[in-house]
């Protein structure tokens, strides 16, 4: 029996490798990968570029009205990359300044309503893997498979530091640690769709797991959940 296409929602803390495992999983399953975090980062980048006052409701609404987000496939990496108003901004959205501001922008009700509507639209045909902070709780509460990723805080700090230091040798590990701690706090305490584990999500603590081990673990779940008899029963 062939597996049915499903929605796979992956939530969790920053620097847990959500995007990495989601991209690999989408490639393996021939699903579409949607990086919800990239959407919020692209919105944040637009706000910063256009000096949007985060506290000015009218400015925020005007900015959102001028934002068009799409994803384009990168044939070299076989992954989808975020485009902001037809500009591929994948190389700009991981900047530390964007990282420092993205949780604040993502906490705005207007921004979340805009982004969630886009995400729901992208998931209508199923066969997608989407990662973020509220995918299994707000965007797709009926997703067939929900995974909540976590890892030891210091492991996460080192992962992010290595990633950012490769791009900017002046990156400080203390700055990275402060940024991750702040993002955890803001993501978990915001009023709009805070980061939390969905009641039916399966926890993946990958502190001591290789990427291969994580893929094996996740694929076992997918094969179990995506069986036609399980889909019919859900």
* Domain boundaries along the sequence of the chain: 7-227
Question: What percent of the chain lies above the pLDDT cut of 90?
Answer: 68
3-class state of residue 37 by DSSP? helix
* Architecture label for domain 7-227: 3-Layer(aba) Sandwich (3.40)
DSSP letters for 72-90: EEETTTTEEEEEETTEE-T
Is the sign of the CA dihedral 210, 29, 91, 53 positive or negative?
A: negative
Q: Is the pLDDT of residue 197 over 90?
A: yes
> Higher pLDDT residue, 76 or 50?
50
Q: What is residue 3's predicted lDDT score, i.e. its pLDDT?
A: 67
pLDDT per residue as tens digits for the range 45-59: 999 999 999 999 999
* Whole-model pTM over 0.75: yes
- Per-residue model confidence as pLDDT tens digits over 119-158: 998 888 899 999 999 999 999 999 999 999 999 999 999 9
* 1 has pLDDT over 60: no
Backbone angles phi, psi at 231, to 5 degrees: -65, -45
Spatial distance between the Cα atoms of 120 and 82, rounded to a whole number of angstroms = 16
Q: Which of helix, strand or coil describes residue 162?
A: helix
Looking at residues 167-187, what average pLDDT do you find? 90
The answer for residues whose C-beta is within 8 angstroms of residue 85's C-beta and 6 or more apart is 46, 66, 67, 68
Give the number of C-alpha atoms closer than 13 A to the C-alpha of residue 74, restricted to the C-beta side: 13
Partners of 204 in the β-ladder: 149
């Amino acid at each position: 029996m062939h597996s049915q296409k499903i929605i796979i929602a992956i939530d969790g803390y920053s620097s847990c490798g959500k995007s990495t495992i989601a991209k690999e999983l989408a490639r393996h399953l021939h699903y579409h990968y949607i990086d919800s975090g990239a959407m919020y980062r692209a919105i944040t980048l637009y706000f910063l570029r256009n000096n949007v006052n985060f506290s000015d409701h009218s400015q925020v609404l005007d900015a959102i009205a001028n934002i068009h987000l799409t994803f384009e496939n990168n044939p070299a990496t076989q992954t989808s990359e975020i485009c902001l108003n037809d500009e591929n901004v994948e190389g700009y959205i991981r900047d530390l300044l964007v990282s420092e501001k993205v949780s604040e922008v993502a906490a705005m009700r207007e921004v979340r309503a805009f982004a969630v509507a886009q995400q729901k639209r992208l998931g209508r045909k199923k066969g997608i893997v989407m990662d973020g902070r509220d995918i299994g709780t707000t965007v797709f509460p009926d997703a067939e498979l929900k995974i909540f990723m976590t890892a030891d805080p210091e492991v996460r700090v080192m992962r992010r530091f290595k990633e950012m230091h490769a791009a900017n040798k002046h990156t400080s590990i203390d700055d990275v640690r402060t940024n991750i701690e702040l993002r955890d706090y803001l993501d978990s305490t915001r009023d709009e769709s805070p980061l939390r584990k969905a009641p039916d999500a399966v926890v993946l603590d990958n502190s001591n797991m290789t990427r291969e081990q994580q893929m094996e673990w996740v694929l076992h779940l997918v094969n179990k959940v995506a069986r036609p008899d399980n889909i019919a029963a859900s």
